[in-house]
Amino acid sequence: MEGLLFNVNNGYIEGIVRGYRNGLLTGTNYTNMTQCESIDDLKLQLGPAYGDFLASLPPNPSTSSLAAKATDKLVSEFRYVRANAVGSLATFMDYVTYGYMIDNVALLITGTLHERDTRELLERCHPLGLFETMPVLCVATNIEELYNSVLIETPLAPYFKGSLSHQDLDELNIEIVRNTLYKNYLEDFYNFVNTHPDMVGTPTAEVMSEILEFEADRRAINITLNSFGTELSKADRKKLYPSFGQLYPEGTLMLSRADDFEGVRLAVEGVADYKNFFEAAGLGGGPGGPGNMAGGSGGAEGRSLEDMFYQKEMEISKGAFTRQFTYAIVYAWVKLREQEIRNITWIAECIAQNQKERINNYISVF
């Protein structure tokens, strides 16, 4: 049914994105990359995929500039797709950018709180999260002005409204602000894909629900794990959990009461995937360090929880491409590309630092 009219508006976009997906680096590419001796070799290997964007780099570029160029490519492709999108797909793509916008706004809030010149911060913002009126936020000199500008100028207003006041921005830790916003954003996005008439009952709703539920669960688990030993109280922590996902509501309730790694493990017991992750991580990292990449000392074999979450996210994203007539492929493509950039950065970092033993820590699904 949804296939009948989908291509009228969105067929071109879907074709383009599927084309982009085929341009993603494959396992063979990664194997070749790990054999490189220098960043220049790596650049050469990336030639077919990133040619134009890497051309302007000087010989032996730094990993960060490599990553920046790779991000540039993602951004330019995303902008092209966004420019061609119409109707609900355009809104959908805007939703994708809100996540980055939250990060940018959090950055600006930090700058304003510490009375820095926020104009300098604009360069540091993630390009996907840029919006036209962003420079307006830099005019604000105190936090109340900034709060009002954010409410007026940004699409993030609904996420602020109701859960954060301008005093909160002053008093709360920026991380709490960021996570509150992110929680609201996830809930809103989830709501959007499940209620919008164009998407309800289509593969988009199905796939996006899976992805967003996973994202919500991952955030809940991560927040819990990372909050141990910080001043974040359990009640405050509970407020940061998104109110959907496979763990919701029993799992999140248990998460909010968890005191240690074991508590988190019990909380996620009900979901087979997470249970497996925790078992693997519990064996590999021990009770002391559940969600780590072993910090460079030992345990190079054991995959961390974070790694497994990324792996799972990539698999879901890969799975999204098996469905047709869905917007979710755009989201999945962005996520896959992000992972690819992370992989490239990681491999480049390992080559630059001559630490080849951990170079295979990248995640490749194709």
Partner 1 sequence: MSGAADREAVFPTRQSLGIMKAKLKGAETGHSLLKRKSEALTKRFREITRRIDEAKRKMGRVMQIASLSLAEVTYAVGGNIGYQIQESAKSARFRIRAKQENVSGVLLPAFESYQTEGNNDFAMTGLGKGGQQVQRCRETYARAVEALVELASLQTAFVILDEVIKVVNRRVNAIEHVIIPRTENTIKYINSELDELDREEFYRLKKVANKKQRDTAEEDAQMKAKKEQQQKELSALAEGNEENEAPKAAPEDDGPADILAAEEDEDVIF
Interface residue list for partner 1 (CB under 8 A): 63-64, 67, 103, 106-107, 110-111, 113-114, 116, 121, 124, 126, 173-176, 178-179, 182, 218-219, 222-223, 225-227, 229-232, 240, 289-293, 295-297, 304, 306, 338, 342, 345-346, 349-350, 353, 355, 358, 361
d(CA 279, CA 301): 15
Q: Which residues contact 100 (CB under 8 A, 6 or more apart)?
A: 126, 128, 129
Work out how close the CB of 322 gets to partner 1 at its nearest, in angstroms, rounded to a whole number: 25
Total residues found in the chain within this entry: 366
Work out how close the CB of 25 gets to partner 1 at its nearest, in angstroms, rounded to a whole number: 16
d(CA 13, CA 93): 11
Give the residue with the Cβ less far from partner 1, 115 or 315. Answer: 115
Give the residue with the Cβ less far from partner 1, 79 or 116. Answer: 116
Work out how close the CB of 304 gets to partner 1 at its nearest, in angstroms, rounded to a whole number: 8
- Could you tell me the CA-to-CA distances from 158 to 140, 147, 199, 318 in Å, in that order? 20, 12, 21, 31
Token representation of residue 293: 């990449």
- Could you tell me the CA-to-CA distances from 268 to 137, 154, 234, 263, 300 in Å, in that order? 40, 36, 17, 9, 25
| H-state helical runs in 247-327 | 250-257, 261-267, 272-285, 305-320
- Per DSSP, 58 falls in state P
Work out how close the CB of 231 gets to partner 1 at its nearest, in angstroms, rounded to a whole number: 7
Give the residue with the Cβ less far from partner 1, 203 or 291. Answer: 291
Give the residue with the Cβ less far from partner 1, 89 or 359. Answer: 359
d(CA 95, CA 212): 12
Work out how close the CB of 233 gets to partner 1 at its nearest, in angstroms, rounded to a whole number: 12
CB atoms within 10 A of CB 193: 26
Give the residue with the Cβ less far from partner 1, 43 or 237. Answer: 237
Give the residue with the Cβ less far from partner 1, 318 or 342. Answer: 342
Helix or strand or coil: residue 200? coil
Token representation of residue 178: 């960021």
Work out how close the CB of 155 gets to partner 1 at its nearest, in angstroms, rounded to a whole number: 20
How many helices (H) does the chain have, and how many strands (E)? 18, 0
Token representation of residue 238: 């509970």
Whether the CB-CB separation of 303 and 278 falls below 8 Å is answered with: no
Work out how close the CB of 323 gets to partner 1 at its nearest, in angstroms, rounded to a whole number: 25
Which of 312, 233, 331 lies closest to 271 in space, CA to CA?
A: 312
Give the residue with the Cβ less far from partner 1, 225 or 328. Answer: 225
Work out how close the CB of 354 gets to partner 1 at its nearest, in angstroms, rounded to a whole number: 8
Give the residue with the Cβ less far from partner 1, 50 or 346. Answer: 346
